[in-house]
Amino acid sequence: MNAIIVEDTPDALEFLKDLVHEECPEVHLVGEADNLDQAESLIKVLKPDLVFLDIEMWGGRTSFDLLKKLESQGQINFQIIFVTAHSDFNYAIKAMEYSAIDYLTKPVERSKLRDAVEKVLARKKNTDVWMQQLDLLL
């Protein structure tokens, strides 16, 4: 499964990259972005299966701005795991509006990351089975 990380804090980016490599060997990190414009480009070009997404970014923007733009273009074809330092209830609700797989708070716990990735894999497997059944039916 291909994934990218969108994180504007260098230390948090390195920590998450290391944690994903150690805990989730089935996840292949194919890109990283430290701003929303770069993230948009990466998503459109790399078409990841999964995006680890920080919420508050430099410049007062949030990842919800990016998701709203991608949604209007029909470009949300990936699973989302939010990784944020903010436990704001409103952010969590907004994350669920985008069908986020999980909402992890920093510092990310190994077991919670592993559980979140397992949810992504389970959803992907169920989708693959459903698509195979639909193909057979058609």
Single-letter code of the amino acid located at 107: P
pLDDT, mean over the chain: 90
pTM flag (> 0.85)? yes
| Sheet with strand 28-33: strands edge to edge | 28-33, 2-6, 50-53, 79-84, 102-105
| DSSP for residue 26 | T
- Nearest 5°: the CA angle 112, 118, 119 is 90
List, in order, residues 6 or more apart from 97 with CB less than 8 Å away: none
Q: What is the pLDDT of residues 122-132, one digit of tens each?
A: 987 766 555 55
Other CB atoms within 10 A of residue 109 CB: 12
What's the rounded mean pLDDT across residues 39-56?
A: 96
Q: What pLDDT band is residue 138 in, cutting at 50, 70 and 90? A: low
Contact 91, 84 (CB under 8 A): yes
Residue 60 clears pLDDT 90, i.e. is over it: no
Distance from chain centroid for Cα 86: 16
What's the rounded mean pLDDT across residues 40-58?
A: 95
Closest CA to 122 of 41, 26, 31: 26
- Distance CA(51)–CA(43), nearest Å, equals 8
What's the rounded mean pLDDT across residues 116-122?
A: 94
Residue 134 clears pLDDT 70, i.e. is over it: no
Check residue 49 and give its pLDDT: 95
Check residue 125 and give its pLDDT: 77
